[in-house]
Amino acid sequence: MGLLSRKATCNSHGQDSSYFLGWLEYEKNPYHHLHNPNGIIQMGLAENQLSFDLLETWLAKNPEAVGCKRDGQSIFRELALFQDYHGLPAFKKALVDFMAEIRGNKVSFEPNNIVLTAGATSANETLMFCLAEHGDAFLLPTPYYPGFDRDLKWRTGVQIVPIHCTSSNCFRITASAIEEAYQQAQKKNLTVKGILITNPSNPLGTTMTRPELNLLINFITDKQIHLISDEIYSGTVFNSPSFISIMEALKDMNMEKNNRVHIVYSLSKDLGLPGFRVGAIYSNDPTVVSAAVKMSSFGLVSSQTQYLLSVMLSDKKFRNHYIVKNQNRLLKRQRKLVSGLEKSGIRCLESNAGLFCWVDMRHLLSSDTFEAEMELWERIIYDVKLNISPGSSCHCNEPGWFRVCFANMSEDALELAMQRLKSFVGSIKKHNHQESEKLRKESHIGKWIFRLSFQSFNEQDQR
């Protein structure tokens, strides 16, 4: 009889994915502009570090919130003592107002329908526990965030069935792709409990179109299954088309009270606060909300964090200023990455959101295989010293695509990364040219030898 549980000794966490392995290599040799200028530049981490100065300026102007004070009086003891699992009402109200503003106030959210969790990771797993049994399945459009293999499956036992999307239509979801995934699950005797999407998409950096959202709503209505819309990048939309939340699509279809649609949100991306561990579930189903609140006791958001953020997000002037300024900075940085890649002859999927680009490096592969993709990835991380995420880790079914992040580093670091990549691509082109010239010369010599041999044969024949 083993001393440890099967869960403790199993290898299903997903840490062996190239997505996580890239992080490990970076941690062994991290780039620093002074202490380690030849180290690996981290471009595989979707963090937003572009607007810390805005947050820090607000904090400097609001020392009471930082110091756990209200109207000049300390509320330290109040925050330090046990709090209700439901969360601080003031924070939940400020959070739903922030979520509405990000969506242009086209929809509103009810504070009683929100459940606070320790980040989006906890929110997604909690919904799996609420909506599915061990062995049930959720359908996910590809490519998708590699962490979902851990977040959705590891402890819950839920299975993921991919909805295969392709570059032929810019990885848009189609009715045939959804139906094919659904049928595939049934062939495996899996009960499909729902579909999970990320909108804006991680790793594509694109927002879903209204026809896609309508297609999804109609499909889950027809099949009587759930839809989870992970909208943690909703405040990062920096270019047209504008973001359309699943709640807006439901409202336009007169289905805003649908209790089979659930939203996951977090302040990790929009405010750049992953270390604060603030996530949320929004649902119109009171049973789901009740169950999720009970489960949230295993991963609560600290009262001090809730209080600080309730004051910050209640500041409407700051809130509006931050949203606009942050989106402008993301646009500028994204254009810098795209421009740098284009100088190397590398193109990206056209994007309008997120903290990354979906980069097309198919022309740099030695062959159209995932083995060649991994060979290229290894050269980029070990030789070029850039950590980017290969498409295979995102379950893309076309080799040669990579997710490249742009908001978690300084502008100088990004420029250096582009210089390194340009030199690398140049070396590949030079090598390919030399190989081409070698083959051409070998072909020319071969033809010359053949002509001499043929001529000699004719002369002998004439004798």
CA distance 142 to 156: 21
Residue 16 known to be catalytic: no
Distances (CA, A) of 76 to 61, 65, 79, 86, 236: 20, 11, 5, 20, 34
CA distance 323 to 101: 9
Q: Which DSSP state fits 254?
A: T
Q: Which residue has the tokens 């600080």?
A: 308
Distances (CA, A) of 13 to 148, 173, 235: 10, 28, 30
Strand 192-198 to 137-141 pairing:
parallel
For the four alpha carbons of 307, 54, 329 and 322, in that order, the dihedral sign comes to: positive
CA distance 108 to 114: 12
Find residue 192's DSSP bridge partners.
Answer: 137
Tell me, what amino acid is at 210? R
CA distance 39 to 42: 9
Indicate which residue of 232, 244, 281, 346 is catalytic.
232
Q: Which DSSP state fits 431?
A: H
Indicate which residue of 19, 31, 145, 307 is catalytic.
145
Distances (CA, A) of 14 to 11, 20, 104, 134, 203: 7, 8, 37, 18, 17
Find residue 163's DSSP bridge partners.
Answer: 141
- Return the SS3 of 107: coil
CA distance 347 to 359: 6
What does the radius of gyration of the chain's CA atoms come to, in whole angstroms? 26
Residue 145 known to be catalytic: yes
CA distance 11 to 3: 17
- Return the SS3 of 17: coil
Indicate which residue of 92, 193, 269, 385 is catalytic.
269
CA distance 24 to 30: 10
Residue 41 known to be catalytic: no
Q: Which residue has the tokens 């030898």?
A: 449
DSSP run (H or E) holding 23: helix 18-28
CB within 8 Å of 308: residues ≥ 6 apart: 65, 66
Q: Which residues of 55-69 are buried (b: 16+ CB within 10 A; e: fewer)?
A: beebeeebeebeebe
Residue 368 known to be catalytic: no
How remote is the C-alpha of 216 from its chain's centroid?
A: 20
Catalytic residue list: 145, 230, 232, 269
